[in-house]
Chain A
Amino acid sequence: MSTSTSTSPEGSARPTTDTRTVKVQLRAQEAKTKLSSPWASLIAVVIAVLWTIPTFGLLINSTRGEPAPTTSGWWHFWGGGTGFTLGNYVSAWNGNGGTPLWQYILNSVVITLPAVVIPITLALLAAYAFAWVDFRGRNILFIAVFVMQVIPIQVALIPLNTVYVNFGLAGSFWSIWFSHTIFGLPLAIFLLHNFMKEIPPSLVEAARVDGAGHVKIFTRVLLPLLVPAIAAFGIFQFLWVWNDLLVALTFSGDNTRPITAGIQQLTTQFGAQGNILPAAAILAMVVPLGVFLALQRFFVRGLLAGSVKG
């Protein structure tokens, strides 16, 4: 077990290595044992391949000329049909006779940005009060918010729809923005509150002694420190809103339908649009995937801080 550590030239050259280095060596050694186990590596590779193949197949299918995507498997690559083409993407983007995909994507963008910004704004204010203003009933109220995180959104959809109809907002962007705000708010408040609590009270105290009011403390002291937390919730809400189908199908109208609902419609007319479906699905994945890969760090941090909602 420990032979490699003690006999390695570095180990003997520096016998008084601190515990940190020893730990690193132990870990490296552990990694070595893992890599040297062929079965472990094999299982990992098999899982990784199994998890990637379906997406890979879709990617290949999206570049195969008509009628290949609907007549043969993607593993034939660009043989048969009309070979390699990006024409499917162009057709999908322009609708291929149906609603152009760019309209759905535009709607998705128009839906997503306010649906991310509005709950963050509301939650920042509420989280500040929960974290730094002492009032009677604070704990009860906060537990209520915490509990609301897990409420299935299904229980709110039908009454909300009636409200939107009575306001004259049914099918509009406003109904979708409000819905996503309401559904995202409990998680946002909970997450931002937890991050705010971790800011040392002495910092806030010092600002107060200097005569800063709540608003000044909020904007000058806390807000800059909360950027990672806001990013964590922001990316979470972004992915949730962009990828949502239930709220979209329930509240969107012909003019406001987002990409998920658009793709869902496309799948129902499979025969007619089968050749552009793979390209359309890839186009729908590009934005969330890009955001996710760019901000993965924050996403994982948010996940570990309890960002799980329904």
Chain B
Amino acid sequence: MTDLQTAPHSKKSASSSRFSALTVLVWLVIAAVVALVVYLSLAPTGTPLLFNSQTDHSWFVDMIFNPTSVTQKIVVMFFAIAVFLLVMGLILWAVDRDNVPKMVLLAGFIGPAVIALASGLLWSAINTIIQSFKKFDQFGTDVGWAEWSNYAHIFTSANTDMLINTIVWIFVVPIFSTLFGLVYAVLVDRTRFEAAAKTLIFVPMAISMVAASVIWNYVYFQPAPEGASQIGVLNAVITFFGGSPVNWTTIFPVGTFALIIVMIWIQTGLAMTLLSASIKGIPDEIIEAAQIDGAAGWRMFRSITVPSIRPTVVVVLTIVAIASLKTFDIVNVMGNNLPKNNILANAFYQWMSQLQSGWAGAAAVLIFVVVVPVIVFNVRQMRKSEDV
């Protein structure tokens, strides 16, 4: 660990162990901002604090909060960046004094992030957990406690398909993404066209899942009318071999697998990149020793490559599983709003749109709960690596 406490600078802030009035004041301000956001997250207050679109404003205020023209939008964009840089600069300028207590200096450096994360993420998560135990009417108004009924709702028979699909998603996507990624990474490793070949597989990572859904739309396109030419590749292939075309994204369980394939198509690039780096990290000595022993091809892959990269494989599997759990874009765009295609993350979005904050909150908490073991695992790993 790097400990710079012997450095001269820390002597100046030796007074920090005592509570100075300034220290208390600065941290009180930070606490007050967090408290304000917490208060405003509880329920609609009716009177907007910063900008009320119902009343008249000067053109400047209107522009800052509700830009309409191209010029206004661009001006506001630069305004936002400038304001942030300015505030950060001011904070730095204010704390960079010889006699500033360390806790004030600290407030300057981590205060903004603490406000954002404590009120925006941490409290929001707690708030959502609370909401998941509340009842909401059809206008989204809180009408008291619901106890466990929101969670019970998720596990009713109406949502069975959704739950099964979610489980299928978080197992099938990681397994196949990792499999394809691993095979491809090994096959193109150290070949002449490695970089280009990898880019081809990697490109789906760079585009949005909405765009990916549009792309795959022309693979799964619904059957053309009798006698007409097929629009979707898959149906064209099927009819070419004499089969009858299928409406892929509307039948259960084919629809779920059709959507899963899109996710595999996207995540394989991620798996390939991480695994490829891991393969290249296998020490030369091990490979040479194996080569001297006569290992090559499949034997090399099975006895050397796979055992060496096993930790990375586990990491990739968990990363892709979490991504699959949280993804809603593909189902939202391609799922035709069919309950039979649904997954938990999309159900969350649907309930949120219907102002059913209780159900949506329970769904969000459920997603969170599934991720928790991974968080625990990650923290353990980090602790281990810090000890070393």
Contact = CB atoms under 8 A, between A and B. Distances in A.
Interface of A: 1-2, 23, 26-27, 30-31, 33-35, 37, 40-41, 43-44, 47-48, 51-55, 57-58, 61, 69-76, 106-107, 109-110, 113-114, 117-118, 121-123, 125-126, 128-135, 141, 143-148, 150-160, 162-163, 165-169, 172-174, 177-179, 181-183, 185-186, 189, 197, 201, 204-205, 208-209, 211, 213-216, 218, 239, 242-246, 249-250, 255, 259-260, 263-264, 267, 277-278, 281, 284-285, 288-289, 291-293, 296, 300, 303-304, 308, 310
A21 B140 CA distance: 70
B2 A168 contact: no
Given A26-B288, A205-B7, A1 B296 contact: yes
* Chain B interface helix/strand/loop/mixed: helix
A173 B345 CA distance: 24
Nearest to A303: B273
Interface of B: 2-5, 7-10, 37, 40-45, 48-53, 65-68, 70, 73-74, 76-77, 80-81, 84-85, 88, 91-93, 95-96, 98, 102-103, 105-106, 108-110, 112-114, 116-117, 120-125, 127-129, 131, 180, 183-184, 187-192, 197, 199-211, 213-219, 228-233, 236, 265, 268, 270, 273-274, 277, 284, 287-288, 291-292, 294, 296-297, 319, 322-323, 325-326, 328-329, 332-333, 345, 348-349, 352, 357, 360-361, 363-365, 367-368, 371, 374-375, 378-379, 382
Contact of A33 (B76, B125, B207, B297): B297
A122 B114 CA distance: 10
Contact of B117 (A133, A145, A201): A145
A70 B224 CA distance: 10
Contacts of B287: 26, 30
Contact of B112 (A51, A113, A125): A125
A113 B49 contact: no
A152 B326 contact: yes
A117 B78 CA distance: 11
Given A145-B113, A145-B117, A205-B7, 7 more contacts: A1-B292, A75-B236, A109-B77, A151-B121, A163-B41, A185-B116, A185-B117
20 contacts: A1-B294, A26-B291, A34-B189, A34-B190, A47-B180, A54-B233, A74-B218, A109-B77, A114-B84, A157-B364, A172-B51, A172-B66, A179-B120, A243-B210, A245-B208, A246-B329, A263-B208, A278-B218, A284-B211, A292-B203
Contact of A76 (B52, B98, B206, B229): B229
* Chain A interface helix/strand/loop/mixed: helix
Contact of A154 (B103, B201, B209, B364): B364
Nearest to B7: A208
A181 B116 contact: yes
Given A165-B44, A166-B45, A159 B102 contact: no
B210 A162 contact: no
B4 A40 contact: no
Contacts of A151: 121, 125, 368, 371
Contacts of A109: 77
A245 B332 contact: yes
Which 3 interchain pairs have the tightest Cβ spacing? Answer: A168-B48, A243-B208, A292-B206
B207 A73 contact: no
A222 B274 CA distance: 28
A308 B217 CA distance: 27
A245 B209 contact: yes
Nearest to A291: B206
A214 B214 contact: no
B248 to A, nearest CB: 13
B84 A117 contact: yes
A110 B76 contact: yes
A304 B274 contact: yes
